[in-house]
Amino acid sequence: MDEHSAAPTVVGGPVVDEELVEFAVAVARDAGRTASAAFFGTTPGRRRKADGTELTDVDLAVEEQVRAAIGRFAPDDAVLGEEAGESGGGSGRRWVVDPISGTGYLTRRMPLFANLLAYEDEHGPAIGVIHMPVQRETVFAARGRGCRLLTGLDQPVAAARRTRVGDRSQLDGALVLGANQHAWSEDLLTALHRRVNLVGGIHHAVVHVVTGRVDAAVLVGQGYDDLAPLPVILAEAGGRVSDLDGAPVLGGNGTVVAANPRLHGQLRALADRRPATRGGKALR
């Protein structure tokens, strides 16, 4: 490990019950059905939140739907949602919901949004789900159960296949997805452009990392709800994730570098002491 590598993504604790995994995947897929109906139906009206990001009635409806499902399944668990904040709790466990990650894509008729769900227990990150309803793909991981991919909208969880990060060891020429490049600093953008094949990505760019389609992802401007599924997904896929400063991603600065362990260290070295952003608003 070189001096710029962050500590490995640590997800410790007992193996998660498969029934809980199946519930999480089902909830995320149901959220996707509601979001897709809006995407293919009448364009939802949009307004701006205090942080400048977009909000629609669909975001609110999907989050309410997810909260209701969790309330029926685990009424003592807390729920932290992007739109309604944190509520409930008493069990020491918590669900984190981003009802529509990439609302701006949905309102622009771009099929690039996702439904995110994470579960945290007394041991830390336990389940992460990234569901892309228009692409008809779901990546999910649970502590001790690996990272898995479902294709289609009706496949049972038992039909999912295991996925892993790629094994590329050299940074030069690596295929790297970026997100919110309009908010990146010129230093960061230039440094990456000189070394890697940097292409546009989206919030769920990590899906393509943990399925081995691309070598790495670099993101900025992420909220906790965007980040919550990542530690367990990357760890169970054999990867590493941190913020650009090397801090644990859930306690970091809203940036993300996700890759296999070798490339993660090299990307961290490249980003070292470079400002991550230039102050532009990130799309969430």
Which residues contribute to the annotated binding site for Mg(2+)? 82, 98, 100, 226
| Angle, CA of 140, 141 and 144, to the nearest 5° | 160
Tokens standing for 276?
A: 């991550």
| Angle, CA of 271, 248 and 223, to the nearest 5° | 85
- What is the rounded distance in angstroms from the CA atom of residue 254 to the CA atom of residue 183? 12
Q: Which residue has the tokens 């193996």?
A: 15
Instruction: Specify the 3-state DSSP secondary structure of 128.
Output: strand
Instruction: Please give the single-letter amino acid code of residue 168.
Output: R
Instruction: Specify the 3-state DSSP secondary structure of 44.
Output: coil
Tokens standing for 125?
A: 């990150």
The binding site comprises: 82, 98, 100, 226
Classify each residue of 137-158 as buried b or exposed e, where b means 16 or more C-beta atoms within 10 Å of its C-beta.
bbbbbbbebbbbbbeeeebebe
